[in-house]
Amino acid sequence: MPEEVWPRIAVVGAGAVGCYFGFKLAMAGAPVVFVGRERQVEALRAKGLTLESVDFTRTLPVEASTEMGAAASARVVLFSVKATDTEEAARSLAPHLAQGALLVSLQNGVDNVSRIRSAAGIAAIPAVVYVGVEVTEPGRVKHTARGDLVIGDHKELSALFARAGIPVEISTNIEGELWMKLIQNCAYNALSAIGRANYGRLVRNPLIRDVMKQVVEEVVAVGRARGVRFPQGDLVAAVWGLGEVMEQTTSSTAQDIARGRRTEIDSLNGTVARLGEELGIPTPVNRTLHALVKLLEPA
C-alpha cells in the first residue's frame, strides 16, 4: 500500500514549544512551515532548526516566514504563541486560514480557545502540553523532559501526532486537563522565576513544597467553584511528582524573565487571583506570586 500523505502543517509561534513539536513532525516527513519573529526566522532559514533532545541532537532544514500568509495552505495549524499574543495572532491568521483547517492551541492557560473564537471566529482545538524545552539561541532548541500532549477525542489529530512519535493521551474531560496543567503552571512557573531554580530544586525544598501545596489548594477551590471536574487522585502529589520527572526543567516564566521579556503570568497565577476575586474565594499565595513576577517583568 502507498505511504499515507502528510498534510501541510504550519507552526504559528516559532518559540520553544512550537519548534519542538514542529521539529518532531518535520523529522517524521511532514511538510512544516514555521511562522515567527524575524530573528528566529532568519536563523531557521540560514542554518535550519536544531533540536538538542534528551535522545539525540539533529538539525533539519526548514521553511520559515515572518508572514501569516505562509500558513495559508496548511491543513493543520499548531498555534503556539504566547498567551499574551492570542487575540492579535488569531486576528492576523484568520484571513489566511484555509477552509476546514484544524487549529490546535498549544498554549498555557485555560481560556485561549474562547479568546481565539471571540477575537477571530476560529473554532480552535484545545491541547495540553507537557514538555521541557528552551530556545538556547535562535534556531536551536534544548529538550530536557517529556514531550507529550493531551487532547479531546479527535482521531485525525491523535493519528497525526502518533505518526510523528509524539505521545498523545485522549481525554473526555479536556477542561479538567487544562485546569490540571494550570495547577502545574501556577505551582512551578512563578517560583522557578523568582528563585531562579529548576523544578528539581523546587520540589527538594520542604518550604517550597508547602508553598506549592497552598497554590494547588487555591487553584482547585477556584476551579471547583466554576464547575471544573478535576482528574481523580492526589493533585498535590501529582504536582510534586512533575518536578521529579522534569527536574532539569526551568519554567517558561523564568526563561522570559532571564531574557527581559514579558511573561504569561497574567494567564497563570493572575487568572486564579482574578477569578478568585470574582467568586469571593481568597487566593493570597497565587496573588502574591503573580505580583512578584510582575515586579520582575520589564517596565
Among the three residues 154, 170, 186, which one is the final residue of a domain in this structure? Answer: 170
Question: Which domain CATH number covers 56?
Answer: 3.40.50.720
The pLDDT of residue 269 = 98
Is there a single domain that holds both residue 162 and residue 182?
no
- Non-local (6+) Cβ contacts of 2 within 8 A are none
Q: Which three cell numbers stand for residue 4?
A: 499515507
Inform me whether the pLDDT recorded for 3 exceeds 70: no
Predicted pLDDT at 270 = 98
Considering 152, 170, 188, which residue would you say is the last residue of a domain? 170
Residue 8, phi then psi, degrees to nearest 5:
-70, 135
The answer to whether 220 touches 230, Cβ cutoff 8 Å, is yes
Query: 2 lies in a domain?
Result: no
Asked whether residue 1 is domain-assigned, the answer is no
Cα-based distances in Å from 73 to 122, 137, 188 = 16, 29, 38
What percent of the chain is predicted at pLDDT more than 70? 99
Q: Report the first-to-last Cα separation within the chain, whole angstroms.
A: 59
| pLDDT tens, position by position, 95-143 | 999 999 999 999 999 999 999 999 999 999 999 999 999 999 999 999 9
Q: What was the pLDDT predicted at 2?
A: 39
Distance CA 80, CA 32 (A): 14
Confidence of residue 155 (pLDDT cuts 50, 70, 90): confident
| Predicted confidence band of residue 60 (pLDDT cuts 50, 70, 90) | very high
Q: How far, in Å, CA of 95 to CA of 72, rounded?
A: 8
Say how many domains are in the chain: 2
Mean pLDDT, rounded, for 182-211: 97
Cα separation, 259 vs 265, whole angstroms: 15
Its domain, for residue 45, covers 9-170
> What pLDDT is attached to residue 299?
83
Residues 83 and 226 in one domain: no
Q: Is 60 exceeded by the pLDDT of residue 258? A: yes
135 and 204 inside one domain: no
The pLDDT score that the predictor gives to residue 1 is: 28
Same domain for 240 and 255, yes or no, is yes
Strand locations in 75-186 (E): 76-79, 102-105, 125-137, 140-151, 168-170
In a domain, 218, yes or no: yes
Residues 77, 142, single domain; the answer is yes
Average pLDDT, the chain: 95
Decide if 70 is inside a domain. yes
- 209 in any annotated domain: yes
**Are 226 and 95 contained in the same domain?**
no
- Say whether both 15 and 158 belong to one domain: yes
Structural domain includes residue 71: yes
| Separation of alpha carbons 45 and 30, rounded Å | 17
Q: What is the pLDDT of residues 4-23, one digit of tens each?
A: 789 999 999 999 999 999 99
Question: CA 107, 201, 186 angle in degrees (round to 5)?
Answer: 30
Domain's final residue, options 107, 135, 170 = 170
Q: Are residues 28 and 151 in the same domain?
A: yes
* Whether residue 163 sits in one domain with residue 50: yes
131 plus 188 within the same structural domain: no
